[in-house]
């Protein structure tokens, strides 16, 4: 019951941003997506997130073929997209960010206690070393990204799309993210990992695909590729 795109094409005016692209995003696997600027990577992400409607083809969500997804359908299907520019509210606490956008956020004491417990649980799950009460504006980029991932996990994400996740991270934060990706993989989460760094592909990917001008020009299983560590 995985995710994927089947024969997906997307046209913007005269530009064919995606041309008959088929990719599988399987539970417990990291699928690395590579390609130069304009290759179509963001278009894949937008189709998954409900920000763009495919011209042809389908999006597979939990084994079902859909011609398009609205942002809400995407979220409800368990798809979470972690963009480079995170969508957290800087002036709020980590905990408030985690629960932001919930249908009914109650202010009752019991709810606050439950929220604090739930926030701590999901922060532990991503290996965060900061408190739910911390203000997002005081956190490093790596810590903010953990909050965003924690928010996705709290909403029971089954497909996590990471868009160049280490672009703004320090080497230490990048290593911590790699360890988290490994952990989420063992939890059965499907991961799309957009990167241009070959060492991340070698370190993390179970499958890698290179896009060029909207087409798949290379795609391979990475099992058996010898890893230095
Ligand atoms: P990447 O993320 O790999 O850099 P994109 O998916 O952003 O590639 O873009 C693929 C192609 O589609 C590019 O030629 C880009 O200019 C074009 N494109 C993407 N979005 C739009 C849009 N909303 N309107 C017009 N052209 C677009
Ligand atoms: P759709 O018609 O499928 O809903 P849109 O045309 O609304 O898709 O574009 C989706 C996203 O692409 C928007 O967020 C828009 O800002 C962005 N975008 C617009 N033009 C370009 C472009 N030339 N290259 C890359 N992205 C673009």
DSSP 136: G
Angstrom distance (rounded) from CA 59 to CA 54: 9
Question: In this predicted structure, what is the pLDDT of residue 212?
Answer: 98
Check residue 229 and give its pLDDT. Answer: 53
- Residue of minimum CA distance from atom 24 in ligand 2: 38
Is the pLDDT at 163 greater than 70, yes or no? Answer: yes
CB atoms closer than 10 angstroms to residue 126? 21
Q: Which residue has the tokens 């993390």?
A: 204
Give the per-residue pLDDT at 111. Answer: 81
Nearest ligand by distance to the CA of 46: 2
Report the pLDDT averaged over residues 96-101: 90
Q: Which ligand is nearest to the CA of 35?
A: 1
Q: Do the Cβ atoms of 168 and 86 come closer than 8 Å?
A: no
Give the residue, by CA position, lying nearest to ligand 2 atom 1: 52
What is the predicted pLDDT for the residue at 204?
97
- The predicted pLDDT at position 98 comes to 94
pLDDT > 90: percent of the chain: 86
45 and 22 in contact (C-beta within 8 Å)? no
- Give the global pTM: 0.90
Pocket test for ligand 2, best of 12, 40, 45 (most atoms within 8 A of CB): 12
- In angstroms, the CA 19 to CA 161 distance is 21
- Ligand 1 centroid distance, CA of 142 (Å): 27
The contacts of residue 98 (CB under 8 Å, 6+ apart) are 115, 118, 119, 122, 132, 147, 150, 151, 154
- Where residue 107 falls among pLDDT bands split at 50, 70, 90? low
How many CA atoms lie less than 13 Å away from 171 in the CB half-sphere? 1
CB of 195 closer than 6 angstroms to any ligand 1 atom = no
Does the beta carbon of 41 sit less than 6 angstroms from any atom of ligand 1? Answer: yes
d(CA 10, CA 180): 32
| Neighbour count for residue 129 (Cβ, 10 Å) | 8
Indicate whether residue 37 lines ligand 1 (CB < 6 A).
yes
Q: Give the tens place of pLDDT for each residue, 35-81.
A: 999 999 999 999 999 999 999 999 999 989 999 999 999 999 999 99
Q: What does the pLDDT average to over 219-229?
A: 72
């Amino acid at each position: 019951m995985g995710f994927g795109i089947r024969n997906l094409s997307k046209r913007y005016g005269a530009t064919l941003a995606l041309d008959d692209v088929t990719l599988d995003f399987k539970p417990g696997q990291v699928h690395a997506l590579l390609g130069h600027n304009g290759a179509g990577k963001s278009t894949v992400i937008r189709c998954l997130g409900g920000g763009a409607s495919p011209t042809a083809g389908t999006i597979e969500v939990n084994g079902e073929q859909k011609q398009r997804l609205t942002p809400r359908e995407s979220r409800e299907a368990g798809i979470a997209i972690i963009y480079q520019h995170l969508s957290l509210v800087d002036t709020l606490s980590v905990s408030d960010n985690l629960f932001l956008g919930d249908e009914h956020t109650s202010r009752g004491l019991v709810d606050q206690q439950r929220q604090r417990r739930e926030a701590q649980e999901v922060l532990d799950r991503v290996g965060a070393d900061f408190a739910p009460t911390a203000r997002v504006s005081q956190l490093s980029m790596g810590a903010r990204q953990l909050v965003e991932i924690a928010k996705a996990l709290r909403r029971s994400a089954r497909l996590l799309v990471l868009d160049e996740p280490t672009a703004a991270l320090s080497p230490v934060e990048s290593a911590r993210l790699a360890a988290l990706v490994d952990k989420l993989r063992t939890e059965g989460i499907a991961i799309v990992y957009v990167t241009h760094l070959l060492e991340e592909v070698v370190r993390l990917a179970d499958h890698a695909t290179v896009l060029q001008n909207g087409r798949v020009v290379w795609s391979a299983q990475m099992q058996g590729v010898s890893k230095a560590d």
